[in-house]
Structure 1
Amino acid sequence: MRSKGATKRKAASIAVVAALAGAGWGPARGANGESSSWAADDFSFNLSGYARGWVSVNLQNQPELDAIDKDSKGKLSMVRGSLLLDADAKTGPVKWKAIGRADREHKTSYLNDLERLRTTNGTAVGGHSSSITDNYNNNELREFWAEMPFGERVTVKVGKQQLVWGESDFFHAMDLVHGYDLSWHLFFEGENEEWRKPLTLISTKIRIPEADGMLAAYVRPGVDRCEDIGNTYDIRGGRWFFQPYRGFDLSAVTDKDCDHPDGDRDDVTGGVRWSGEAFGLSYSLAYLTSFSADPVANSAFKPYKKAPSGAVFDLIHPKIDVLGATVSGYSAALDAVLSAEMAYTKDQPFNVGTGAFLAPNVPGNVGIGLGGVKKKNTLTTMLRIDKDLDLQGLFGTSRPSFSSIQLFNTQVLGFDRDDDLVRLFAYGTELTEHNTILTAFTTLNYANDTINPGFAIGVDLTHGGGFAIPSLSLTLSDQWLARIEADIFWGGNKSNKTQFSDEASQIFGYFDNASQLVFRLTRQF
């Protein structure tokens, strides 16, 4: 019997395809292979895109691979290629958009070592991937929507799309409509639009000039795939699984459950956002109901509302309610733009159970977050200052350099150590009441912005550890772009060395020994 979700998804797909066919939308090609377009009085079409390649190199040895290869430093960790096509059309008052992308990876010797390690530790048996590159290869219709105006103030967009609600860059307070695909990368430079996972939505914008603002709202009717919900991490033993789990395919003992009573993908979700200007400030107020971005474990030892189908646990994304606000404005005294963002989350789920797996010294506690699920309210705040620094005399740049500093904090409200909450399942480290991270970046500009060195840094002020990303972006021509960067991490002596342990790993401890050098080349068309 076909599930209700499958029936809803098929009906939505048929409706969108029929609408496009009725509009007479067909392909167009340019003679020189560049961006193709065609226009008439009531019809226009444009096709653009890119071909892109990545190469990354390990800058450190991987301790998980010591038994197989003690010299993983200097090995290629990624050889990846992507082709993206972006089609825009206009039929009368209706705008159409379709974006498709294909991704392929070469199995480097380093990835082959990780695949061998999955066999050695037994997690390849029963896992979902026969090849480790199955984690990274993908064909996807990323966006497919139509937008129509209703009068002079209202527009409605229907289809697979992205909505951005928030101000922060490295970490997200209010930008919670969508999850992110973090499986093949995790920290190096890129565009959120390409990592964000689009959803099938009905969204609208209503301009209200009398109040100097705009009302935006969306409804997600619940026709998305399971893989579209929440953040996706590299839990299948790949290059971006957190230390010490590289080469350990967690999917051998877990499933992702999108039919859980507290996190059913077929449930309707949505939100509303008001943005406007007042007293020289830009501001917004928003409410949304969504799915928790990061998954939690529904443990077989202490099931949460439903027994898991996985051997040890299922990954679930319980629903949350978020109330948020942003404000930004220019400070003449600092000659900078100051921004603030706040998000109050009701019923943020956390796993329970600090300590090592099946710790005998803690009665009734199985450790590493497998002791159940508990919900707490949280308050996430972000303070930001953006400023153009005049470094022309010091560094000889061609114009002032854009720089930004962000202070990001998440507080667990009503925090009680007796709740025994963990920071992340598969680790026995306790969650702290505050988690505070400071980030900063600046970009230098030379030769009319064709040569752009940059530097980003982040520090965990609560637990220690951080990252640094020196980079160089090059515009080689109108079509060719290049970038090189080093992603350097340090764990602040808080990193697990043993799987399923209660060692002191916190966020940057997860990235211990993951430093890398990344090259990217793009051909736009």
Structure 2
Amino acid sequence: MKRNKRFKQIPGIALAAALGGMATSTVHAATEEAKSNAGDGDYAFALSGYARGWVSMNLQNQPELEQQGKKSRGKLSMVRGSVLLDADAKTGPIKWKAITRLDREYKTNYLEDLEDLRATNGTTGGESIIKNYNNFDVREFWAETNLGDRTTVKFGKQQLVWGESDFFHAMDLVHGYDLSWRLFFEGENEEWRKPLILLSTKIRIPEADGMLAAYIRPGWDRCQDIGNTYDIGGGRWFFQPYRGFDLHEVTNKNCSHPSGDFRDATGGVRWAGEAFGMNYSFAYLKTFSADPVANSGSPGKSYEGVAATGGVFDLIHPKIDVFGATVSGYSDTLDAVLSAEVAYTKDQPFNVGSGAFNPGNYASGIGNPGIGLNGVKLKDTLTTMLRIDKNLKFEGLLGTSRPSFSSIQLFNTQILNYEDSDDLVRLFAYGSKIKEHSTILTAFTVLNYKNDEINPGFAIGFDLSNGGGFAIPSVAMTLSDKWVAKLEADLFWDGGKSNKTQFSGEGSQLFGYFSKASQLVFRLTRQF
């Protein structure tokens, strides 16, 4: 029996490789034909993209499966293949772009174990884990044109990036992120960000050394495009101790709640300029809260009196107002670029109700049902980010080809007018109180060898408020002008604060969610 399971992994790897190989040859032919038809004047067309495969392996045994007598360490947690097509066109004064991506996964033995665990948890009626991970989407589809010499207008499904921070986002809140199939390992934010249908414009004002940007989201997106999407279907990236528990069975995502109706128009405006040798910006956003909050189904606990449609609660993304500013400049003294970012958020929603789940209080609506199901409270927050970017000269010490880019970021979110009696929790389904300050320190460096053909990297982060952190050693390799590979390990420690029992009040904080989730990830890309 064990022998059959071991050999069952092989078709998944072959599937990802075949998917990449077939797509590469087909798209290469289409690209060559497009290039031959491309014009040099008012018309042009180009097609590019990639075929990519991922394989990841668990580095630790996970408590959810250990309780069932099963091991997870050493098992493949992901075998995934993706094909992305990126088309650019020009028709007279109009530029066009279309990006599509197909994602497919193979159900590894580990994912089968998690699906089997659903029966133990009584959540067997939902979609398969693989269906949650498979996807085909039009990532972007927009047209852009100039109006005069100063104004550029773009309309369609697109991405806007406003902000300075990398790991954690203060002002980069125009879009949510799809974190369902990967939650932490490194990659390009453009791949995880969820594009939206926007009308955006940029107006260059050289007299003031700046540019005014604005956008309107008319509300034509899908419900699934709003806010961050997490792996709440019981898959590999559901937070401990909920792997193998399909939360879809007891909740709905309600995008029609009055506080966060996805059909409502949102938008923002941003000024960016240069002064006194520094870059700066000011921005305002009306957007949706990135992380969802739970609208409790407990009698009298619902938010704004709107009853939950799910079995226990609904997930909603209330609208928020964000005012932000950034500044960055070069320091001769430190030979580094210093950056700062601040964001004031009005009416950030938080769930209320610490402690373990109390079914009696939940059913009666009397008292605190725990795990964040005691209602929603709005609090203003202040998020700040300080960053220093510097090229470190490791050529003599480590034999690198050139100076190595390094960065340190300090990221803090403060809940204003914080009161312990508010009983705010960090995340629904957990009974841990959130603190007034949540402070994260991160750092990374990238080394360069053989003229950037081999690039080892190391990233590390610490939760200074609650303990725990992460470390990500990696190496990226350029194998040829078409082939790129990357190997990394995502290592977590929880600081002694992680839940072992579902719906308990065991004090889990941010990196407690990632407890026993360390992974080894390999990625291979064929560019065309």
The whole-number CA distance in structure 2 between the counterparts of 1:493 and 1:30 is 51
Distance in 2, Cα, partners of 1:462 & 1:34: 54
Answering whether residue 83 of structure 2 is matched by residue 83 of structure 1, we say yes
Question: What is the TM-score normalised by the length of structure 2?
Answer: 0.92
Query: Gapped runs of 5+ residues in structure 1?
Result: 1-27
Indicate whether 1:414 and 2:417 are aligned: yes
Deviations 1:414-436 (A, max 9, x none): 00011111011100000100000
1:30 Cα deviation (Å)?
5.8
How far does residue 118 in structure 1 lie from its aligned partner after superposition? 0.9
Tell me, in whole angstroms, the C-alpha distance in 2 between the residues paired with 1:419 and 1:138. Answer: 40
Deviation at 1:359, TM superposition (A): 7.4
Where 1:478 maps in the other structure, the secondary structure is: coil
Matched residue, 2:144 = 147
Q: Percent identity?
A: 75
Q: Describe the superposition over 1:343-374 as per-residue Cα deviations: whole angstroms up to 9, x where unpaired.
A: 00000000000011017799600000000000
Residue in 2 aligned with 1:424?
Answer: 427
Equivalenced residues, count: 495
**Aligned residue for 1:453?**
456
Q: How big is each residue's C-alpha offset from its partner over 1:240-264, in whole Å with a ceiling of 9 and x where there is no partner?
A: 0000000000000000000000000
State the shift of 1:33 in Å.
5.6
1:35-66 deviation digits (Å, cap 9, x = unpaired): 94312421000000000000000000011012
Q: Secondary structure at the match of 1:133?
A: helix
Q: Tell me which of 218, 221, 225 is aligned to 2:222.
A: 225
Q: Structure 1 residue 249 and structure 2 residue 251: aligned?
A: no
Q: CA, structure 1 residues 292+314, in 2 after alignment: closer, same or farther (shift >3 Å)?
A: same
State how 1:346-385 maps to structure 2 within 5 Å. 346-358=346-358, 364-385=367-388
* Contact 1:35-1:46 within 8 A present in 2 as well: no
Q: Which amino acid aligns with 1:440?
A: A
- Find the aligned partners of 1:31 and 1:424 in 2 and give their Cα distance: 49
2:41 partner letter: D
- Measure, in 1, the Cα distance between the counterparts of 2:129 and 2:173: 29
Query: Which residue number corresponds to residue 513 of structure 1?
Result: 516
User: Does the alignment pair 1:109 with 2:109?
Assistant: yes
Match of 1:168 in 2: 165
Q: Give the distance between the partners of 2:410 and 2:33, measured in 1 at CA.
A: 41
Equivalent-residue separation in structure 2 for 1:29 and 1:169 (angstroms): 32
Write the letter of the residue equivalent to 1:447. K
Letter in 1 for 2:468: G
Residue 296 of structure 1, CA deviation: 0.1
Partner residue in 1 for 2:203: 206
Residues 472-506 of structure 1: per-residue CA shift (max 9 Å, x gap)? 00000010000000000000000011100111110
**Letter paired with 1:413:** L
Secondary structure in 1 matching 2:397:
helix
Aligned 8 A contact 2:31 2:47 in 1: no
Q: What is the SS of the residue equivalent to 1:117?
A: helix
Give the distance between the partners of 1:39 and 1:120, measured in 2 at CA.
Answer: 61
2:277 to 280, 286, 289: 280
Task: State the partner residue of 1:303.
Answer: 302
Q: 1:30–1:36: 8 Å Cα contact kept in structure 2?
A: no
- Tell me, in whole angstroms, the C-alpha distance in 2 between the residues paired with 1:356 and 1:67: 20
Q: Which residue does 1:59 correspond to in 2?
A: 59
- Identify the residue that residue 238 of structure 1 maps to in structure 2: 235
Structure 1 stretches of at least 4 aligned residues deviating more than 6 Å after TM superposition = 359-363
**Aligned equivalents of 1:188, 1:69: Cα separation in 2:** 28
Aligned match of 1:42: 42
RMSD: 1.4
Of Structure 1 and Structure 2, the greater helix share is in 2
Match of 2:13 in 1: none
**Other structure's SS at 1:172 match:** coil
Q: Is contact 2:294–2:313 with CA below 8 Å preserved after alignment? A: yes
Deviation at 1:124, TM superposition (A): 1.7
The answer to whether 1:268 aligns with 2:265 is yes
User: Which whole-Å CA distance do the structure 1 matches of 2:27 and 2:230 have between them?
Assistant: 37
Shift of 1:132: 1.1
